[in-house]
Amino acid sequence: MAQKPDVAIVTGGSRGIGAATSLLLAKADYLVVVNYVSNAAAAKAVVSQIEQAGGKAVAIKGDVASEKDIVALFKAADQFGQLKVLVNNAGVIDMKARIDEMSAGRLARMFAINITGSFLCAREAVKRMSTRHGGTGGAIVNLSSAAATLGSPGMFVDYAASKGAIDVFTLGLAREVASEGIRVNAVRPGIIDTDIHASVGEPDRVAQMRGQLPMQREGTSLEVAEAIIWLASDKASYVTGTCLGVSGGRSI
């Protein structure tokens, strides 16, 4: 019987950084579970691209703000093989706002997706990867943001704070499971050219920011994906608990 492939789950794998990461993980021979929440066509396009290149992938819908969806996502992934990589990529930003304009609903949504979603996905991954639970180890890569080091005043301190939580989570979880075969790291992208900036309410934000960036340009999803792939790979076998800046010098 053919051996089952190693599995990688990328939350929010349908667009932007998650899509670029899915493509690279497939090239590295993982069967990639491309999670998405609403854009089925984009997820399907990523899966097709992977299959055309000779790789294996499957698109699975699920909202990381829902514990039920997360449990179902990981259960569905189990049938394909052993989970070895989780990329906690799904994340949202919101309209530019000051604290005195932020509703409790906005904060609840932001923290449910960006923080609790990452925690619950990591919980499911640890249950499968940890030697404590009979697993063979693995790697978790979380998506933080340069915002966690800048605070984003007058823009979205809620988003920045959610990513600050991811930084601390990365450090704590890394130490918690270091002796169980699991490495946990994060990347902190700077300004990357993806759809996410449209939700801030400033469609030309990337173009506006360009001149203020040390390299005078935004980054690409592929540039972030390359860092994620390295952290997930055995080449980073002694790296855990770290947050790697991928911001062209904008922040650490």
- Residues annotated as catalytic are 159
Strand ranges, E, within 11-55: 31-36
Q: Could you tell me the smallest distance in angstroms from the CB atom of residue 134 to ligand NAP?
A: 28
18 binds ligand NAP (CB under 6 A): yes
Selection from 88, 66, 83, 70 nearest residue 32 by Cα: 83
Phi, psi of 184 (to 5 degrees): -130, 120
Give the binding-site size for ligand NAP (rule: CB under 6 A). Answer: 29
Residues in 90-149 that interact with ligand NAP by CB under 6 A: 90-92, 113, 143, 145
196 binds ligand NAP (CB under 6 A): yes
Q: Which helix (H) or strand (E) holds 152?
A: none
17 binds ligand NAP (CB under 6 A): yes
Q: Could you tell me the smallest distance in angstroms from the CB atom of residue 162 to ligand NAP?
A: 8
CA distance 171 to 8: 21
Residue from 6, 11, 77, 158 touching ligand NAP (CB under 6 A): that is 11
| x-marked contacts with ligand NAP along 77-96 as a string, rule CB under 6 A | ------------xxxx----
Closest to ligand NAP by CB, 70 or 130: 70
Q: Could you tell me the smallest distance in angstroms from the CB atom of residue 181 to ligand NAP?
A: 25
Residues in 154-183 that interact with ligand NAP by CB under 6 A: none
Residue from 7, 9, 36, 158 touching ligand NAP (CB under 6 A): that is 36
Selection from 54, 59, 4 nearest residue 26 by Cα: 54
Choose one: 8-16, 119-127, 169-177, 235-243; the region binding ligand NAP (CB under 6 A).
8-16
Query: What is the DSSP secondary-structure string of 156-189?
Result: -HHHHHHHHHHHHHHHHHHHHHGGGTEEEEEEEE
Angle at 245 between CA 139 and CA 190, to 5 degrees: 115
248 binds ligand NAP (CB under 6 A): no
Q: List, edge to edge, every strand of the sheet that includes 6-10.
A: 56-61, 31-36, 6-10, 82-88, 138-143, 182-189, 243-246
Binding footprint of ligand NAP on the chain (CB under 6 A): 11-12, 14-18, 35-39, 42, 63-65, 89-92, 113, 143, 145, 189, 191-192, 194-196
